[in-house]
Amino acid sequence: MLTAISTVLGMMPIAPTIFWGPMSYAIMGGLLVATVLTLIFLPALYVAWFRVKETPGGVPAQTPRHMAAT
Q: What is the mean pLDDT of residues 19-39?
A: 94
Q: What is the mean pLDDT of the chain?
A: 85
Which pLDDT does position 27 carry in this prediction?
Answer: 95
pTM reported for the whole predicted model = 0.67
Alpha carbon distance 59, 14 (integer Å):
46
Alpha-carbon distance 45 to 29, whole Å? 22
